[in-house]
Amino acid sequence: MRFLAGVASLICAVNLIIGKVFSWLALAIVVVCFTVVVQRYLFATSYVWMQDLYIWLNGAMFTAVAGFALLRDDHVRVDIFYRPAKLRTRAITDLIGVFVFLLPFTWIVYIYSMPFVQRAWGYHEGSANVGGMPGLYILKTFIIVFAALIAAQGIAMAIRSILVLGGRADLVPAAMQYSPDAIKPATTEGAA
């Protein structure tokens, strides 16, 4: 069980670092977008590569931080049922969700996007816009990165569920702890 907890901790650490680094792209997106607007409306000039840049930064940021968002439990779920659920119920729900929905989804994204990404790398695809940025193939690679980071975090979620169901919630990495409202006193646990 300690080995599983170590694997989950490693996955969480990777997604945490990537999430914190790539979340700074939000600031870059705002700065570039503001610059494009100022250039267009104050100086009547525009650069296509700058317009590509803030769109590409946006795509890179959202695909790279998806695993981080899953780590932080920021993805959409039906909280009306999940939030009041007991710890074990949450663990079972997460375990089923990871294996029935999340991992198959990431596998499909990987399988269908790999030829698309390989083709882009094959001819070093650039922007379709004249005067646009080169290197679109790098941005398309973020689709694969997205699938890998989400799948890895899904495996960490499954490990968390296994640890909770195996009675070893104490080994769950701190970054993945269930929220306190899931932990109910022992007296109400049996009554509910």
Domain assignments of the chain as residue spans, ordered by start: 2-184
Between the two ends of the chain, the Cα-to-Cα distance in Å is 29
Q: Would you say 65 and 149 are in contact if contact means Cβ atoms under 8 Å apart? A: no
Percent of the chain scoring above 90 in pLDDT: 46
Q: Is the pLDDT of residue 185 over 50?
A: no
What global pTM score does this model have? Answer: 0.81
Q: Is the pLDDT of residue 97 over 50?
A: yes
Q: Is the pLDDT of residue 86 over 90?
A: no
Q: For residue range 126-182, what is the model confidence (pLDDT) as tens digits? A: 888 887 788 888 999 999 999 999 999 999 999 989 988 888 777 777 767 766 554
Q: Alpha carbon of 184 to those of 21, 49, 79, 159, 192: distances in Å?
A: 35, 54, 17, 22, 10
pLDDT of residue 47: 87
pLDDT of residue 80: 74
Mean pLDDT across the chain: 85
pLDDT of residue 179: 63
pLDDT band at 31 (very low <50, low <70, confident <90, very high): very high
